[in-house]
A and B are shown apart, each in its own frame.
Chain A
Amino acid sequence: MARKTMIEAIRDAMDVAMGLDERVVVFGEDVGFFGGVFRCTQGLQAKYGKSRCFDAPINESGIVGAAIGMAAYGMKPCVEIQFADYMFPAYDQLTQEASRIRYRSNGDFTCPIVVRMPTGGGIFGGQTHSQSPEALFTHVSGLKTVVPSNPSDAKGLLIAAIEDPDPVMFLEPKRLYNGPFDGHHDKPVTPWSKHELGEVADGHYTVPLGKAVIRRPGNAVTVLAYGTMVYVAQAAAEETGIDAEIIDLRTLLPLDLDTIVESVKKTGRCVVVHEATLTSGFGAELMSLVQENCFYHLEAPVMRVAGWDTPYPHAQEWDYFPGPARVGRALIATMEA
């Protein structure tokens, strides 16, 4: 056991997976010698050699396309897209290839790949280093989508993703790499060394895909969140004094609907929170499911707090980011409805 940053935990996960299974290879832009722009792969090339961890050309379609071919051969590639915003050139390979190879070949070929990508804002990355494209993956039949919120989960989920027999999109909230972030950008950063979820077990363990976890038990309202928004929601609950039950979804697809439904039936209220743009976001799916499954238990309309439907701006980052004040207002409105 040791306290680790999310970067160290993710690196640890790849280290463990590469050590246990020589079919696991890691590559991407700046990933090899340098160890990645966020340093998630630091030391892996030195430890496992250039044929297991290497630099790729700046060509996301090529990175994912090559990974698909490697998986068809029998390998288990875990590739990095430098920013989630850069995945769009690979979208064809992800949506029409990786996701469907098992289905269209009736299991003759499979595609056990993991595509890691730093996601979300909060680092003044502007419109091309801040986006949260998770709904573009959950909308695709055949992919799995994971968004960890802390080092302990990140390691267990990433090992589970690498060992999964199907393609997994692994979105790493980059604002959480070095510590939990509750949206109070003007306060000093809390490092993971001061947070219990920074405690990362040694060696091999998995956090199963498709299992949510209740981060804060409560009775008044259920908050559905993932990634950075888990901490924003916690701050909003503390600051408003509302007894919110906060569910960290961890995996968006497959989704742990049972945990959601059980909680909303108990609280009778629900607020859905994400950083991605509002319209057609994953929150819309969550609201539909809550409505379909919990309608007769609801005391108030389900509410959403999300990024505004604009590109992620640079200077106005904190006006865009759905921080604790906005989430708090939604909690109050839900309680008053």
Chain B
Amino acid sequence: MAEAGKLRFHVPEPEVRPGGTPDFSNVPIPKAGSVPKPPIDVDPREIRDLAFSIIRVLDRAGEAVGPWAGMLSDEELLEGLRHMMTLRAFDARMQMAQRQGKTSFYMQHLGEEAVSCAFRKALDKGDMNFPTYRQAGLLIADDYPMVTMMNQIYSNEADPLKGRQLPIMYSSKEHGFFSISGNLATQYVQAVGWAMASAISGDTRISAAWIGDGSTAESDFHSALVFASTYKAPVILNIVNNQWAISTFQGIARGGAGTFAARGLGFGIPALRVDGNDYLAVHAVAKWAAERARANLGPTLIEYVTYRAGAHSTSDDPSAYRPKAESEAWPLGDPVVRLKNHLIHRGVWSDERHTQAETEILETVIAAQKEAESHGTLHAGGKPSIRDMFEGLYAETPPHLRRQRQQAGI
């Protein structure tokens, strides 16, 4: 009783640390097909439970079931599989290129390929994403040239960003991909501003904001939700919950809230949780949100429940903070394998064709890599000019920068 009046400080801890046995038994996984699909004009108050469930389409047998199924054709699904496989192969090659010293840094998507690849197909041409560093599937699925991505990663003479940006911080207005900052959460409210501008202009285009579980703790996440809620902006607010923010488990950002999606409820924003490793579910929920935005029904918050199977970046070693086998124990499986099994179940795919596709995709990626490397890599071959460092900061280079450029002998 002596402790009764004494305050206790609480620091959340993950269930298991290195050396322990991975245990996701506390993660409730609803059955595929069990979550209803409301009409897009539903009153957000009537679907509050969707912020605490997980919308899933693919069941364990590889069948697409329930009200969110049936939106994609065989061709579209085969294309989706190809996009995810391409992203995975691209990642593997670029991860290796970093280890070979051809670039300084890389960030892969392993285990999260479905999120950005499927989402892109729910948007239209002209819509704008404000991505984080782990949504390159938005570019792959929009057929952005892999060579150009690699040129950026290598900061070589053909780098469209002239060597100014950290690898993978792509930018492509044409492909609806806003310049990645490397800063955290700033893009979330910028996406809302873009959507507000589209609405002010009487346009039909919408935007999508991206953030990770960890960065939802940033003030700009709150700013974005306030602005999106107030102005009913035509924006899709995406949270990719891959369980880990570098070494910090998602409980540190989530705090006492049941889920990240639940953050939307206080703003009156419809909030849905979706199986992020289920290509069909991601696409269906994103499409639902896009239709709401286009119908002037305002923003939708989506939490993609997934797992970062790889390291945060090439500068990170997850074995220092989580069990090595944790990713294999992740109950939502591998997005590529799940879509592959579904396509086999549909009778349009086979193990043989999959293996063959893997080989073909790898060849395509290697060909792109060879072409990119002909323009140089970070420390060898063609590189951006020193002049590029001084230019392009302002539309017109001001006198003080011109003087500094001259001092540098350029």
What residues of chain A have their CB less than 8 Å away from a CB belonging to chain B? 25, 51-52, 56-57, 59, 61-62, 65-70, 72-75, 77, 89, 92-93, 96-97, 100-110, 141-142, 144, 165-166, 210, 253-255, 257
Contact = CB atoms under 8 A, between A and B. Distances in A.
Nearest to B205: A73
B215 to A, nearest CB: 13
A253 B183 contact: no
B171 A166 contact: no
B28 interface: no
7 contacts: A61-B219, A70-B197, A72-B190, A97-B183, A97-B190, A106-B160, A141-B393
Interface stretch (B223-231, B303-311, B317-325, B367-375): B223-231
Contact of B173 (A56, A102, A108): A108
Q: Which 7 A-B pairs have the closest CB atoms?
A: A69-B193, A66-B193, A62-B223, A65-B189, A69-B190, A73-B197, A105-B179
Given A65-B186, A66-B190, A106-B162, 11 more contacts: A57-B230, A65-B224, A69-B192, A69-B195, A70-B196, A70-B197, A96-B181, A100-B393, A102-B394, A104-B161, A105-B161
A59 B223 contact: yes
A253 B226 CA distance: 33
A165 B392 CA distance: 12
Given A62-B226, A108-B173, A108-B179, A69 B392 contact: no
B339 to A, nearest CB: 32
A209 B172 CA distance: 30
Interface stretch (B17-25, B93-101, B395-403): B395-403
Size bracket, chain B contacts: 35 or more
B327 interface: no
B58 interface: no
A254 B399 CA distance: 7
A45 B220 CA distance: 27
A197 to B, nearest CB: 26
A69 B181 contact: no
B319 to A, nearest CB: 32
Interface in B221-270: 222-224, 226-227, 230
Nearest to A74: B197
Interface string B154-186: 000000111011000101110000110101001
B190 A59 contact: no
A62 B198 CA distance: 17
Contact of A165 (B165, B224, B395): B395
Given A25-B200, A61-B219, A106-B160, A69 B207 contact: yes
B169 A104 contact: yes
Given A51-B200, A72-B128, A75-B197, A62 B227 contact: yes
Contacts of A165: 394-395
A93 B201 CA distance: 24
A101 B179 contact: yes
A144 to B, nearest CB: 8
B128 A73 contact: yes
A96 B183 contact: yes
Contact of B220 (A65, A72, A75, A253): A65
Contacts of A104: 161, 164-165, 169, 171, 179, 181
A65 B223 contact: yes
B139 interface: no
A139 B54 CA distance: 47
B193 A92 contact: no
Contacts of B398: 210, 253-254
Nearest to B169: A104
A108 B189 contact: no
A75 B190 CA distance: 13
Contacts of B193: 65-70, 72-73, 77
B392 A103 contact: yes
B160 to A, nearest CB: 6
B179 A109 contact: yes
A97 B183 CA distance: 8
A198 B341 CA distance: 76
A16 to B, nearest CB: 20
A103 B171 contact: no
Nearest to A257: B399
A108 B171 contact: yes
A25 B194 CA distance: 13
A68 to B, nearest CB: 5
Nearest to B207: A69
B64 interface: no
Nearest to A101: B179
Nearest to B235: A69
A92 B171 contact: no
Contact of B189 (A61, A109, A166): A61
Nearest to B209: A69
Contacts of B188: 65
A208 to B, nearest CB: 11
B197 A61 contact: no
Contact of B191 (A69, A89, A110): A69
Greatest chain B CB density within 10 A among A61, A62, A210 is at A62
A106 B161 contact: yes
Contact of A93 (B186, B207, B399): B186
A110 B395 contact: yes
Nearest to B393: A103
Contacts of B395: 102, 110, 165-166
B130 interface: yes
Contacts of B198: 73
Contacts of B230: 57
A165 to B, nearest CB: 4
A144 B401 CA distance: 13
A226 to B, nearest CB: 17
A202 B304 CA distance: 55
A102 B162 CA distance: 12
A318 B193 CA distance: 42
A109 B173 CA distance: 7
A69 B192 CA distance: 7
A257 B392 CA distance: 22
A231 B276 CA distance: 63
A89 B222 CA distance: 13
Nearest to B162: A106
Contacts of A97: 181, 183, 186, 190
A107 B400 contact: no
